[in-house]
Amino acid sequence: DVKVTQSSRYLVKRTGEKVFLECVQDMDHENMFWYRQDPGLGLRLIYFSYDVKMKEKGDIPEGYSVSREKKERFSLILESASTNQTSMYLCASRDMTQHFGDGTRLSIL
Amino acid sequence: LAKTTQPISMDSYEGQEVNITCSHNNIATNDYITWYQQFPSQGPRFIIQGYKTKVTNEVASLFIPADRKSSTLSLPRVSLSDTAVYYCLVGFYSGGGADGLTFGKGTHLIIQP
């Protein structure tokens, strides 16, 4: 079974902090993704990566950046956290289907 | 990118068969149809994927008519644990790109005793 592991299930940070969310997959997938999920809005794609050091913007990239230095690891960075970035963040990797982690519930105070 | 439309919510009872239909009028020749299930506080989980006609696995069946402009996820004899949000996605899963990654709001299925 594919395993996608997100570093934290719950995280509380303060406005203006730089926040790192880490994701690791164990199936050598080339494609990895970051989504956020908010009530009533479904899952929205933030960024994705189809290879090491490659990244593409999704639907809502503003306020975020990503890093993919190794194939198995994809990091989401909130450069200066704001309260409107309080959300559930989901990481996924993909072969023919997407495999998700359990999510990080991030609160920005 | 093919857009999908599915009901916001559905109710059913334990032991019943539940069918959730997804419309995707702009589906492209190379597109596959994939369904995911999501429980609260968890990431979505793959249920089934198909290209045409019928696909069945141990969890569900997927019916796709000849014109492929819609698809129906069928859950046999549901139980309370099938209460979840179900997402229909359409896309071509090539080596890269964002195709088939738009989840939409899904269908909230509620199973009652």
Residue B94: pLDDT band (50, 70, 90) is low
pLDDT mean over B10-32: 94
Q: Does B72 touch chain A if contact means CB atoms closer than 8 Å?
A: no
Buried b / exposed e over B20-47, threshold 16 CB at 10 Å, is bbbebeebeeebbbbbbbbeeeebbebb
From the list A40, A96, A100, the residue facing B43 with the nearest CB is: A100
The string of pLDDT tens digits covering residues A61-80 is 999 999 999 999 999 999 99
Q: Does A108 touch chain B if contact means CB atoms closer than 8 Å?
A: no
Which token pair is B42? Answer: 């968890």
Task: Report yes or no: B8 and B107 within 8 Å, Cβ to Cβ.
Answer: yes
The string of pLDDT tens digits covering residues A23-59 is 999 999 999 999 999 988 888 999 999 999 999 999 8
SS3 labels along A22-40: EEEECCCCCEEEEEEEECC
Lowest mean pLDDT, pick from A6-10, B16-20, B88-92: B88-92
Mutate to test the interface with B, among A97, A100, A104, A106 (most CBs of B within 10 A): A97
> Mean of the per-residue pLDDT values for chain A?
94
Interatomic CA distance for residues B48 and A33, integer angstroms: 20
pLDDT mean over B6-22: 96
From the list B43, B87, B105, the residue facing A90 with the nearest CB is: B43
Residue B82: pLDDT band (50, 70, 90) is very high
Q: Does B71 touch chain A if contact means CB atoms closer than 8 Å?
A: no
The residues pairing with B109 across neighbouring beta strands, listed in sequence order, are: B10, B84
Judged by DSSP in three states, B69 sits in coil
| Per-residue pLDDT at B93 exceeds 80 | no
Other C-beta atoms lying within 10 Å of the C-beta of residue A93: 26
From the list B49, B95, B97, the residue facing A97 with the nearest CB is: B49
Q: What's CA A31's distance to the chain center, in Å? A: 13
Token pair 């950046």: residue = A65
The residues pairing with B89 across neighbouring beta strands, listed in sequence order, are: B34
